[in-house]
């Protein structure tokens, strides 16, 4: 920077000092702090768009995005293992947890008590899976869990454990709240797009609701009434 440029910059800094009562260094610190605050605000705002306000769990948007991001990887694993002649493939699973008798809680004890039950369920679900798994509330009394690395047997084991944990909780037992769970295993032979996987987990839980408080695995050919899945 030439002499004229330095003089011009100094003149601007002096004018700022007189106008705002702060030095150039203080102004830079202020700008840095404001930028840091803005970044934190944007991050918090983004977090709100993928978080369920009541339970603090992730929401449908987040889970679907994570599911979609994982499926190409699974498909890539399929091709890689086939080339290498390896039979064992990467597996995952989607669980649909639908609460039994929850409407009765709202009707009998009110929505405040219903919210308390939902928070307790969220706590139990989170404590029943690994940190790498995604627990999400889709709305109402419907929850989904994406098990990013679990075969069919492991997914069934986790689903049954969730049923037991919910059934044995004193608060939920008092309100006769249990859960029906649909399991949709995902592997090389049956990988599909995210919306199809969600619908098929829905099919399984629909069948599980016929008996309530049980786990049912989706199988090809299962259909809901008026469903084209």
Our answer to whether residue 193 is catalytic in this structure is no
Catalytic residue among 141, 169, 193, 226: 141
CA torsion sign for 181, 115, 177, 223 is negative
**Residues with active-site annotation:** 141
């Amino acid at each position: 920077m030439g002499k004229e440029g330095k003089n011009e910059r100094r003149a601007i800094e002096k004018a700022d000092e007189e106008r705002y009562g702060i030095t150039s260094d203080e102004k830079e610190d202020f700008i840095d702090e404001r930028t840091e605050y803005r970044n934190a605000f944007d991050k918090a705002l983004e977090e709100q768009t993928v978080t369920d306000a009541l339970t603090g769990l992730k929401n449908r948007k987040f889970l679907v995005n994570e599911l979609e991001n994982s499926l190409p990887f699974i498909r890539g694993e399929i091709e890689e293992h086939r080339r290498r002649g390896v039979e064992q493939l990467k597996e995952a699973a989607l669980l649909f947890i639908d609460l039994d008798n929850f409407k009765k809680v709202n009707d009998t004890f009110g929505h405040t008590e219903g919210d308390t039950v939902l928070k307790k369920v969220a706590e139990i679900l989170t404590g029943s899976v690994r940190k790498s798994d995604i627990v999400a509330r889709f709305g109402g009394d419907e929850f989904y869990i994406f098990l990013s690395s679990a075969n069919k047997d492991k997914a069934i084991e986790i689903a049954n454990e969730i049923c037991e944990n919910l059934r044995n909780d004193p608060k939920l037992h008092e309100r006769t709240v249990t859960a029906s769970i649909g399991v949709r295993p995902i592997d090389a032979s049956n990988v599909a797009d995210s919306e199809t996987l969600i619908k098929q987990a829905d099919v399984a839980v629909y069948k599980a609701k016929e008996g309530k408080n049980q786990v049912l695995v989706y199988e090809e050919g299962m259909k809901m009434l008026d469903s084209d899945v």
